[in-house]
Amino acid sequence: MVQLEFSEKWRECLADCLASFDGREVADRKGKLSWDPTHGKLNAEFPIEQSGTIAQAMRDLILMTKDVVSAKINECLDAAG
């Protein structure tokens, strides 16, 4: 499983942002991201045998979310004062 998970402190701030990635494809369309609002996780599941696919999915997840999540974190910090 490849996932992006945040502590309870950040879930409320980032929930809408992360939920917007639900259903996006990763690893050359071999997997789709899934948002789990209950646990605050964005993940994609693959069989462990697909190590190359897992590495690609990790790379895709980081590249896909890095700028958006960083901007949202900064926005939340600014709002908190």
The number of angstroms, rounded, from the C-alpha of 31 to the middle of its chain's C-alpha atoms is 13
Average pLDDT, the chain: 84
Interval 16-52: pLDDT, tens: 898 999 999 988 888 889 998 888 888 887 777 777 8
Specify the length of the chain in residues: 81
Instruction: Output the pLDDT for position 12.
Output: 81
| Predicted pLDDT of residue 22 | 94
Nearest one of 63, 71, 13, 75 to 33, comparing CA atoms:
63
Q: What is the pLDDT of residue 23?
A: 94
List the domain range (segments joined by +) for residue 24: 2-80
User: What mean pLDDT is predicted for residues 45-69?
Assistant: 85
SS3 call for 48: coil
Domains held by the chain: number: 1
